[in-house]
Amino acid sequence: MSDTLRKTPLHALHVELGAKMVPFAGYDMPVQYPLGVLKEHQHTRASAGLFDVSHMGQVIVRATGGYDAAARATEVLVPVDLLGLAQGRQRYGFFTNDQGGILDDLMLANRGDHLFVVVNAACKDADIAHMRAGLEGCEVEEITDRALLALQGPAAEGVLQALVPGVAEMKFMDVAIVDSRFGELWISRSGYTGEDGYEISVHADQAQGLARALLAHDAVEPIGLGARDSLRLEAGLCLYGHDIDSGTTPVEAGLTWAIQKVRRAGGARAGGFPGAGIILDQISNGAPRKRVGLRPDGRAPMREGTALFTDAEGGTPIGAVTSGAFGPTLGAPMSMGYVPAALSAPGTPLYGEVRGKRMPVTVAELPFVPANFKR
């Protein structure tokens, strides 16, 4: 089993640090370090956490007409305003299918003469095939010789600035290519925790050196996938394959904000992406169901798959939980799930069936823990 799993350039470091390794999206990845999930989560919110996200896909899209040509071609696959994206900036987006469902969610950056894309590990092979088939006149290059690290938390800026002067000036969702003693770094000020922080692409040969230099700071602890999941859930961020998938539309998922006006009905480049008819209709007329936050009344977490009901007894499920865990910063359990639009207002009382018992749960605002971005 383990020899069929792929390893990131930081694999040996994880083992050395005492990580518990688990298979994730085809990679042998650290789920937690000796600190444990709860303390890793709290450390990230209080100070800074270092995550290995090298399993994610890094892709460069080039066209002979430069960034604008690559952006125009990519707008055929994503409902995002890429032509209007300024150089040195990135945007969140998604590939959609003809039913308006989400094939993957991703980050898209304008890097001057090309488009840089970061996609989910589990989807990357399909995404790259999808881009090669759908991006007319573009060269799609998968970057396989670079690691991707995330440094997240309020101390991230100070720690990285000391190693890579200048990064403190970056704003949320800025991207930059920076020379450093770890070679050329591709840095974005973003992440998946709701905290300020950076994602840093580094050549595989330099990845361990950079990780060790970051971990040398007292402020920084290595953080596993376990805490990554509770951090993103507190921040109300979707996990592909759970909260969003090919059967959920961006409107149902509450991601309409990522579809800029220029791509919506009446916009200069309205539609023109897969499933546009369905998605634009839902933006105008509403979606039948919505992704919502859910706060169980007790302490018992309602995990993925928990059926939701309107009543304490009887009836059929009106929806289900798609992610659920205990929120260490929230100090309480939290879930996300889909419910009919009529039952999606914060404060709506519902029931979740846990171990055969209907437990009260209340529809809640997302995020559960406010974001701490440096806008």
154 binds other proteins (CB under 8 A): no
Q: Which of 23, 26, 36, 367 binds other proteins (CB under 8 A)?
A: 36
Nearest to 85 by CA among 116, 60, 110: 110
CB of 227 to other proteins, least distance (A): 8
Which of 101, 98, 53 minimizes the C-alpha distance to 246?
Answer: 101
Phi-psi region of 45 (alpha: psi -120 to 50; beta: other; left: phi over 0): alpha
CA Rg value for the chain: 21
Inter-residue contact 65 to 115 (CB < 8 Å): no
d(CA 339, CA 343): 6
- Is residue 7 near other proteins by the rule CB under 8 A? no
Pick from 9, 19, 28, 32: which binds other proteins (CB under 8 A)? 32
The binding track of 301-320 with respect to other proteins, each residue x by CB under 8 A or -, is: x-x-----------------
Residue 40 annotated as binding?
no
Question: What is the three-class DSSP state of 23?
Answer: strand
CB of 160 to other proteins, least distance (A): 28
Q: Does 375 bind other proteins (CB under 8 A)?
A: no
Residue of 128, 178, 300, 371 interacting with other proteins (CB under 8 A): 300
Residue 334 in contact with other proteins, rule: CB under 8 A: no
What mask, x for binding other proteins by CB under 8 A, covers residues 255 to 294?
----------------------------------------
Which token pair is 112? 């001057």
- For residues 160 and 166, give the distance between their C-alpha atoms in angstroms, rounded to a whole number: 9
User: Interface with other proteins includes 230 (CB under 8 A)?
Assistant: yes
SS3 content of the chain, % helix, strand, coil (to 5): 25, 35, 40
- What's the chain's length in residues? 375
Q: Does 57 bind other proteins (CB under 8 A)?
A: no
Compute the Cα dihedral for 340, 345, 349, 351 and give only its sign: positive
Report if residue 23 touches other proteins, rule: CB under 8 A. no
Q: Which residues are annotated as a binding site?
A: 199
The footprint of other proteins (CB under 8 A) covers 32, 36-39, 226, 230, 299-301, 303, 325-326, 328, 333, 355
Q: Which residues are annotated as a binding site for substrate?
A: 199
